[in-house]
Amino acid sequence: MDLMKGKKGIIFGVSNTHGIAYGIAKQLFDEGADIAFTYAGEAMEKRVRPIAEGMNAKLIMSCDVTKEDEVEAVFKECEKIYGKLDFVVHAVAFAPKEDLMGRFVDTSKEGWDIALGVSAYSLVTICRHAEPIMNEGSSIFALTYLGSILSVPSYNVMGVAKAALESAMRFLAVDLGPKGIRVNCLSSGPVKTLASMGISGFSKMLKAAVLRAPLNRNVSLEDVGKAGLYLASDLSSGTTGEVIYCDCGCRSAYASAEEMDILSRE
């Protein structure tokens, strides 16, 4: 269909071929998009560069999203290479592992600051520097999760960070709307990725999601990638300030007795 033919944009957060950001990038690329990529430091370059080169990226650049000057430099380079952009994907999140374990009440101040800075405030920084070079009718969206509105076991401070991300998205949608820029969040159901497997008890979350979902399965990277394609493309021209769920219906279904039993087991 070439939904993205002639469209240019950037994805922050692709790290490997098993992640949600990659699933979105693949759908965009397959539909004709011209995609720039960033990576977080030299260690990640070895993973990201082959992916970006495989998608004919004209820009592959290091960027620590907590450093304003680096974000600014990325968008200045985008302007030199692409002129204006049509989409930006924020797929960046991090919290110290120790703050994803145990009780939320024991979250450290440092862990709180890191999680909210990397996972939520970075969207504000990115939007601030993207705004001047975004086309009218363009799209910015960030990845979130159900832990933003529910207390999900072992998600802890990341849930708070995702809640902040979603709230920031709504304010950004109002700020950027007059310029024709849409801002949304995409909330995926649990997907088995390298990042998610670092969450304690994640395998039980996957099993419970199947039991809860009306579609009786978990989402795939392809499912989430297609939802990302919708948000990045002109198909979502009337959608902004929203959280779009791609979770096989998990959010809308009550927990079953069997699911509760799974979640309660050690």
Rounded average pLDDT per 10-residue block, the chain, 266 residues:
93 94 97 97 93 98 97 98 98 94 94 98 98 98 93 90 98 98 94 60 68 84 96 98 93 62 53
* DSSP sequence for 9-76: EEEE---STTSHHHHHHHHHHHTT-EEEEEESSHHHHHHHHHHHHHTT-S-EEE--TT-HHHHHHHHH
Q: What is the CATH number of the domain that holds 81?
A: 3.40.50.720
Looking at the structure of the chain, the number of domains it has is 1
- How confident is the model at residue 116, as a pLDDT? 98
Identity of the residue numbered 261: D
Q: Is residue 21 part of a domain?
A: yes
Q: Is residue 261 part of a domain?
A: no
Q: Is residue 260 part of a domain?
A: no
Active centre residues (catalytic)? 145, 155
Q: Is residue 256 part of a domain?
A: no
Q: Is residue 229 part of a domain?
A: yes
- How confident is the model at residue 106, as a pLDDT? 95
Q: Is residue 141 part of a domain?
A: yes
Domain carrying residue 51 = 8-191+218-249
Q: Is residue 131 part of a domain?
A: yes
Q: Is residue 198 part of a domain?
A: no
- How confident is the model at residue 266, as a pLDDT? 43
